[in-house]
Chain A
Amino acid sequence: MAEILGGIGTSHVPAIGGAIARHLQQDAYWKPFFDGFQDVRQWLQGQRPDVVVVVYNDHGLNFFLDKLPTFAVGAAPSYTSSDEGWGIPTIAPVEGDPDLSWAIIEGVVAEEFDVTSCQEMRIDHAVTIPLQLLWPSGPPPVRIVPISINTVQHPLPSAKRCLAFGQAIGRAIRRHPPDLKVVVLATGGLSHQFDGERAGFINPEFDALCLNSLADDPCRLTGYSTREIVALSGTQGVEILNWIVGRGILGGPTREVCRKYHIPISNTASAVQVLEPR
């Protein structure tokens, strides 16, 4: 049966893609951020997953506002990235795992999470940048299943719903017969806001509460409405919903393997965290 080895949460700030393209990893501004991934890569090398389930939000590449699913599961044989309008480099197509995708779709719909299935799905920077951060020296040696959460157009799914959705995904993965090793990768956040007079808003106290709650007691986050999360974390900080889905996939109690929190990366309080089921 498929086994879930652990989960990685990471920011997906577009500027990281630019820094990678320009080889700025040793630059004074970027070094503390990139150095924060050494422990994560070491952990990953020990785990050697077959598949990475990526929980993220699309930023207007695959989905437009004409048809915007709340929860969408990729079920494609491979996923391509593309021009997003402001110059981010693309990466080579990444192989999918349609068998696992459909096991997840069937499992969660059986639990009444009525997702949108996508046999074609372009992946944006919220998928490509984290993959580049985890495997900087070449194409990721894994297949992926991308799962997109609407964090763009309100009403957004509640934190409570996101945690429950993640738990259902986790059960579907663990029921999947092949002996696959699966790692969860949740991307976005932490606190940041691009729009409005409050642009540049960052809230380290709430970010710490989120990181600690994800590790110890994710239910603590389900008490917040999405509006309260926007107030506390910023209009784009609400991407923490992706992390909450990812945490749900891990299931019961977890152990924090490592974390690195770093402000600022572009407009964002960046973070990376690794959790293992225990």
Chain B
Amino acid sequence: MTEQPIPGTYLFDGRMARKGYALNKMCYSFNEARNREAFKSDETAYCERFGLSEEQKVAVRNRNVLALLAAGGNVYYLAKFAGIFGLSVQDIGAQQTGLSVADFKARLKSYESFNAPVNASGPAHG
């Protein structure tokens, strides 16, 4: 069965989990501060140690989130990578959408007009 793609959206499935295993395993190691320090002190050696593919190494070097996703990265693990550089999910969102961080945040804020109607639609209030 062929399913319609969801625009701008990638499902992290078995295919991607296999492709991204080494990259995600490296990012998982960043739960520990000493591993974040080891990465910072010798990035190339650290990527080698986890056996990253060439595609993954380039994506890591370029801090390119869309390329990291394409190389099998899972966003929850990539968040630990981004954390090393103090990047938030807004920074990551801005990079992937091509917006400035301010514009990305403004776009999120533009949804706030929905707060009142959603709160009012509940059975406790309706």
Query: Given A211-B118, A261-B115, A264-B112 in contact, is the A64-B25 Cβ separation under 8 Å?
Result: yes
Query: Given A207-B118, A263-B114 in contact, is the A258-B108 Cβ separation under 8 Å?
Result: no
Q: Which DSSP category, helix, strand, loop or mixed, fits chain A's interface?
A: loop
Q: Is B59 an interface residue (CB 8 A)?
A: no
How close is B115's CB to chain A, nearest CB, in angstroms? 6
Name B36's closest neighbour in chain A (CB-CB).
A85
Q: Is A117 an interface residue (CB 8 A)?
A: no
Q: When the two chains form their complex, are residues A153 and B31 in contact, meaning their CB atoms are under 8 A apart?
A: no
Name B121's closest neighbour in chain A (CB-CB).
A208
CA distance A202 to B105 in the complex (A): 13
> CB-CB < 8 A to A266: which residues of B?
88-90
Q: When the two chains form their complex, are residues B9 and A200 in contact, meaning their CB atoms are under 8 A apart?
A: no
> CB-CB < 8 A to A255: which residues of B?
123-124
Q: Beta-carbon contacts of A230-259 to B below 8 Å, as 1s and 0s? A: 110011100000000000000000011111
Q: Is B102 an interface residue (CB 8 A)?
A: no
Interface size on B, residues (CB 8 A): 59
B residues near A (Cβ < 8 Å) are 3, 6-14, 17, 21, 24-25, 27-28, 30-33, 36, 65-66, 69, 74-84, 88-90, 92-93, 96-97, 104-105, 107-109, 111-112, 114-115, 117-119, 121-125
CA distance A59 to B31 in the complex (A): 11
Name A264's closest neighbour in chain B (CB-CB).
B108
CA distance A59 to B24 in the complex (A): 12
Q: When the two chains form their complex, are residues A85 and B11 in contact, meaning their CB atoms are under 8 A apart?
A: no
Q: When the two chains form their complex, are residues B108 and A154 in contact, meaning their CB atoms are under 8 A apart?
A: no
How close is B38's CB to chain A, nearest CB, in angstroms? 13
Q: When the two chains form their complex, are residues B122 and A196 in contact, meaning their CB atoms are under 8 A apart?
A: no
Q: Is A99 an interface residue (CB 8 A)?
A: no
How close is B2's CB to chain A, nearest CB, in angstroms? 12
> CB-CB < 8 A to A260: which residues of B?
119
Q: When the two chains form their complex, are residues A65 and B111 in contact, meaning their CB atoms are under 8 A apart?
A: no
Q: Which 3 A-B pairs have the closest CB atoms?
A: A86-B83, A198-B8, A85-B80
Q: Is A178 an interface residue (CB 8 A)?
A: no
Query: Given A231-B6, A259-B124, A263-B112 in contact, is the A200-B74 Cβ separation under 8 Å?
Result: no
Q: When the two chains form their complex, are residues B90 and A269 in contact, meaning their CB atoms are under 8 A apart?
A: no
CA distance A66 to B18 in the complex (A): 10
CA distance A212 to B93 in the complex (A): 29
Q: Name 4 extra pairs, CB < 8 A, besides A60-B76, A82-B31.
A: A154-B11, A212-B121, A255-B124, A264-B108
Query: Given A84-B31, A86-B79 in contact, is the A267-B108 Cβ separation under 8 Å?
Result: yes
